């Protein structure tokens, strides 16, 4: 697996097209972990060889990420509409889909740097400081992407909440980014609310490109209700607003639910006892859904509901990637297989309060 990935990376880099290598590296890393977890925690020659293979794959993965972001993203983040133009899409939908995909990739790279810095006990380590600098640089890149590309202010697919949540998970590491978080999710909510009211390009549950291209297909209430029958986007915004004491944003989500989205099932996703078997390879459906999340409650009651479910569903802590301190793999799996991030990952923000 490692040799094949390195060969693919070399070919892709020579062709100046690392998109396929990036997706393959995510896929390979996740499948590699599905093998490595069988030997994790052991102290044998076989487990040592398997661990070396994992680090070789991880090294290739990081090299591909750095090459992809350094060549295709970083040069454009500081330019107004720079990334939107660089996408070279045939329509606004192409730009929107790709920009949210890219912001998730940038954020995951920053989270890996944060993970790497946490593995050093001493703050004096030069490598640790370099990794923390990388975290800050990726967060700055995300803020610049949002400031310079208005497409990132209105997701068209509800599952783009995944990429938004990954980006917020990186930004929240530094308290100086809180105003930027507030401005971003508030703008997303305002634009989504307006688009919904005027039958514009509001977030929907459609996933087919052809269907998204013609969305909204009609401007009647029945169609609008059908394509907004469920959502992870709005409860995700509500969760972040509640955690960061953004009371005005939280109230706006509650009002939107009360006035416009009574039919919409607000949902959050949690791993279950099958997730360890299927998360890394997407071999079968898994996980559980908390349906009808109550954003109409007081903020603390809402948080108690969300994180109370974490206490009753502790399966995230049982995932091998978490048990053996490779937790960013869970984020990579969620991004790659389009699963909402589990609220467990934000539980420390709630306990901090």
Residue 33 has pLDDT above 90, yes or no: yes
Residue 77 has pLDDT above 70, yes or no: yes
When the pLDDT of each residue in the chain is averaged and rounded to a whole number, the result is 96
Per-residue pLDDT tens for 266-306?
999 999 999 999 999 999 999 999 999 999 999 999 999 99
Cα–Cα distance between 295 and 82 in angstroms, integer? Answer: 37
Residue 340 has pLDDT above 80, yes or no: yes
Cα–Cα distance between 146 and 308 in angstroms, integer? Answer: 33
Cα–Cα distance between 182 and 146 in angstroms, integer? Answer: 13
Per-residue pLDDT tens for 188-239?
999 999 999 999 999 999 999 999 999 999 999 999 999 999 999 999 999 9
Phi, psi of 12 (to 5 degrees): -65, -40
Residue 353 has pLDDT above 60, yes or no: no
Going 151 to 154 to 156 to 160, the CA torsion angle's sign is: positive
Residue 139 has pLDDT above 60, yes or no: yes
Q: Which two tokens stand for residue 206?
A: 């459609």
Q: Is the pTM above the cut of 0.85?
A: yes
Cα–Cα distance between 37 and 183 in angstroms, integer? Answer: 40
Q: Which two tokens stand for residue 336?
A: 């790659």
Query: What integer pLDDT is reported at residue 320 of this predicted model?
Result: 98
Task: Tell me which of 1 and 58 has the higher pLDDT.
Answer: 58
SS3 220: coil
Cα–Cα distance between 269 and 306 in angstroms, integer? Answer: 10
- Give the pairing of strands 265-266 and 230-231: parallel
Domain boundaries, the chain: 1-72, 90-352
Query: What integer pLDDT is reported at residue 170 of this predicted model?
Result: 98
Query: What integer pLDDT is reported at residue 4 of this predicted model?
Result: 93
Query: What integer pLDDT is reported at residue 268 of this predicted model?
Result: 98
Query: What integer pLDDT is reported at residue 188 of this predicted model?
Result: 98
| Nearest partner of 5 among 30, 38, 39, judged by Cα | 30
Q: Which two tokens stand for residue 93?
A: 């939908």
Per-position b or e across 77-99, b if 16+ CB within 10 A of its CB: beeeebbbebbebeeebbbbbbb
Q: Quote the percentage of the chain above a pLDDT of 90.
A: 94
Contact assessment for residue 103 and residue 152, using Cβ atoms and an 8 Å cutoff: yes
Largest CA distance in the chain: 65
Cα–Cα distance between 50 and 192 in angstroms, integer? Answer: 47
Cα–Cα distance between 317 and 320 in angstroms, integer? Answer: 8
Residue 351 has pLDDT above 80, yes or no: no
| H helix or E strand, kind and range, residue 337 | helix 328-337
Query: What integer pLDDT is reported at residue 313 of this predicted model?
Result: 87
């Amino acid at each position: 697996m490692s040799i094949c990935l390195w060969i693919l990376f070399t070919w892709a880099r020579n062709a100046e097209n690392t998109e396929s290598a990036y997706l393959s590296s995510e896929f390979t890393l996740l499948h590699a972990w599905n093998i490595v977890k069988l030997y994790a925690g052991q102290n044998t020659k076989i487990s040592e060889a398997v661990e070396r293979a994992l680090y070789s794959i991880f090294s290739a993965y990081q090299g591909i990420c750095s090459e992809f972001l350094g060549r295709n993203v970083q040069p454009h983040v500081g330019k107004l509409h720079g990334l939107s133009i660089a996408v070279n899409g045939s329509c606004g939908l192409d730009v929107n889909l790709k920009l949210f995909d890219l912001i998730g990739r940038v954020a995951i790279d920053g989270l890996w740097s944060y993970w790497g810095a946490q593995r050093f006990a001493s703050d004096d380590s030069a490598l640790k400081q370099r990794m923390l600098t990388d975290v800050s640089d990726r967060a700055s890149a995300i803020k610049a992407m949002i400031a310079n590309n208005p497409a990132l202010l209105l997701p068209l697919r509800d599952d783009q909440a995944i990429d938004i949540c990954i980006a917020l998970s990186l930004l929240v590491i530094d308290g100086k980014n809180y105003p930027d978080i507030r401005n971003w999710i508030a703008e997303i909510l305002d634009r989504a609310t307006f688009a919904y009211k005027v039958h514009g390009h509001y977030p929907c549950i459609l996933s087919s490109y052809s269907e998204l291209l013609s969305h909204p297909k009609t401007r009647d209430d029945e169609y609008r209700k059908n394509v907004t029958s469920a959502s992870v986007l709005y409860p995700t915004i509500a969760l972040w607003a509640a955690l960061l004491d953004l009371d005005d944003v939280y109230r706006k989500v509650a009002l939107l639910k009360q006035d416009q989205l009574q039919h919409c099932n607000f949902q959050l996703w949690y791993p279950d006892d099958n997730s360890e078997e299927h998360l890394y390879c997407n071999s079968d459906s898994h996980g559980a859904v908390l349906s009808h999340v109550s954003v109409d409650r007081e903020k603390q009651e809402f948080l108690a509901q969300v994180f109370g479910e974490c206490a009753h569903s502790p399966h995230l802590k049982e995932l091998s990637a978490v048990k053996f301190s490779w937790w960013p793999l869970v984020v990579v799996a969620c991004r790659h297989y389009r699963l909402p991030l589990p609220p467990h990952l934000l539980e420390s923000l709630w306990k901090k309060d």
